[in-house]
Amino acid sequence: MIELGGVGTFYGPILGAGVIVFGNEFLRLAGTLRLTLLGTLICGVILFYPGGIMHMVEEVVNRIMLIVNRKKAAQ
């Protein structure tokens, strides 16, 4: 959960736990493939976002703020 959500953040492990729990319930329709899909999600986040989901969320928020600030500066 910590690796998925983000190490060193308060909300990271909470978010990671939520993704695992709700992902597990959401993928219940996939049957036995559920654990494979959830494991692939976890491995993908660890490989492509070593900071976890919180780091990804922070990057998205920073990019949005950068775009908003550029628009304000252009006016």
pLDDT at 54: 85
Q: What is the pTM of this model?
A: 0.69
Tell me how far apart the alpha carbons of residues 17 and 7 are, in angstroms, rounded to a whole number. Answer: 13
What residue type is assigned to position 54 of the chain?
M
Tell me how far apart the alpha carbons of residues 75 and 57 are, in angstroms, rounded to a whole number. Answer: 28
pLDDT at 69: 92
Residue 23 CB-density burial (10 A; 0-12 exposed, 13-18 middle, 19+ buried): middle
What is the number of alpha carbons within 13 Å of residue 22 lying toward its C-beta?
6
Averaged pLDDT of the chain: 86
pLDDT digits (tens, 9 = 90+) for 9-46: 888 888 888 888 888 888 888 888 988 988 898 898 88
Query: Would you place residue 1 in the very low, low, confident or very high pLDDT band (cuts 50, 70, 90)?
Result: low
User: Residue 45: which of 53, 37, 33 has the closest Cα?
Assistant: 53
